[in-house]
Amino acid sequence: MSYETYFSTHRDEHLEELKQWLRIPSISALSEHKDDVLAAAHWLTDTLKKAGLENIELHPTAGHPVIYADYLHAPGKPTILVYGHYDVQPVDPLNLWTTPPFEPEIRDGKLYARGATDDKGQVFIHLKAIEAILKQEGTLPVNIKLCIEGEEEIGSANLPPFLEANKEKLAADAVLVSDTSLLERGRPAICTGLRGLGSLEVSVTTALTDLHSGSYGGGVPNALHALVSLLSSLHDDKGRVSVEGFYDGVPELSPMLREEFVKQGVNEDKIREGLGLDALYGEEGYSFVERIGARPTLELNGVYGGFQGEGSKTVIPKEAHAKITCRLVGDQDPQHILDAVEAHLKANIQTGAKVHVKQMEKARAFNIDPSNPILQTAADAYGKVYGTRALFTKDGGSIPIMESFARVLEAPVVLMGFGLDDENLHAPDEHFNLENFDKGLLTIVEFLKTV
């Protein structure tokens, strides 16, 4: 039986299985869902056993468990480590979902549920591809290991220690991950770079209490004025970050890389119109796709303080706050960047105000050379199924653990995603296009049989 026939025959059965997993609200960020996260982990171990995997282990951590399994019966053949995650994002705002987030529903060829594309649906593709090969051929053409965690959506804090402690168990010739997207429908892509991350919270304080703007206005510092002035100093008028040392470790874009970006054929006018914008904006001298994939950023994620209720309140606020994230590229050191931003903020705070900085997330950027033979094999596998070979891209987002896998295991990471950017991951009405579910199964089978 061909694999196309096999997957077509079992499609309804497979989708019902996936729906079972999607019904479990494994929200790692919310403590009230701790038991649900564990239930999702146990569902996975049971499914791995049914698929024919061996040595299935549930490893407790200080947070949520890591699942390991393997099938090592191909001596002399490569070992592929499959990574993914079974935790999902919170669902707020709930009222914007067309159907409940944990009641999966198929509409117009799309499977709607929280986790459908990020990342349960994409992990499930690997489980069923492996199961199909075992059922069709009785063994696997390569050695397989799986490492599936339950904390990716909260930063994977407990996975790096697990990697360090289990380097031999997890040793592989390559790490295979499906947690990224195609360029667009019918145009597969292999991500060769993910931006790193640094985040911080900023608080500006002034007087001991809020003050009447009539009695004190013009004579005392205003926390909101001080914060706005401070945040404005972080960029120049050309969209470049003004923090001293911010660009340390940022590589120049090579002509070859810029040509790869051009090949993507990104239509900036279409993006602008789709977002309802009069113009795109960013660092001068770079295209939209270069700015979001290969350049570092400093973004304000939230600015708040003072009176925000209905009507007017003539108050001079005593405090104001901001949340900032930096996306990092190349060899930028997250700690160096956060220290540099903090130093800038403290050096530029307005007279009479105090600034307090809390450093938070830190993750290095991930990069891999697209000429690596295993990436070329992956591109060919896409080409066989999709009819067009995958392009090599840089992704503006961050999957912090990718750099850890590459560094600790000293293995290339192959990012073979099957999502689409408009599938509302992290947002209401998250969904997975079943066209890519079907083609993803065939692509992973092709890759495992030819790597």
Give per-residue pLDDT as tens, 287-319: 999 999 999 999 999 999 999 999 999 999 999
Query: Which stretches within 108-240 are classed as H helix?
Result: 120-137, 159-165, 167-170, 213-216, 223-232
Q: Are residues 257 and 319 in the same domain?
A: no
Q: Above 90 in pLDDT, residue 101?
A: yes
Asked which of 313, 333, 363 is the last residue of a domain, the reply is 363
Q: Are residues 359 and 369 in the same domain?
A: no
Distance CA 93, CA 78 (A): 45
**Mean residue pLDDT across the chain:** 96
What confidence tier does 395 reach under pLDDT thresholds 50, 70, 90? confident
Q: Above 90 in pLDDT, residue 418?
A: yes
Q: Which domain holds residue 214?
A: 196-250+296-363
pLDDT of residue 355: 98
Q: Are residues 16 and 96 in the same domain?
A: yes
For residue 350, the domain's CATH number is 3.30.70.360
Q: Are residues 127 and 213 in the same domain?
A: no
Q: In the Cβ-directed half-sphere of 156, how many Cα atoms lie within 13 Å? A: 24
What confidence tier does 260 reach under pLDDT thresholds 50, 70, 90? confident
Please enumerate in sequence order all residues whose Cβ is within 8 A of that of 337, keeping only pairs 6 or more positions apart, or say none.
Answer: 198, 245, 246, 326, 328
Q: Are residues 348 and 400 in the same domain?
A: no
Q: Are residues 21 and 107 in the same domain?
A: yes
Q: Are residues 242 and 316 in the same domain?
A: yes
Q: Is 301 helix (H, G, I), strand (E, B) or coil?
A: strand
Q: Are residues 121 and 166 in the same domain?
A: yes
pTM of the model: 0.85
Q: Are residues 306 and 317 in the same domain?
A: yes
Number of domains in the chain: 3
277 is written with which tokens? 């914008």
What confidence tier does 191 reach under pLDDT thresholds 50, 70, 90? very high
pLDDT of residue 202: 98
444 is written with which tokens? 């992973």
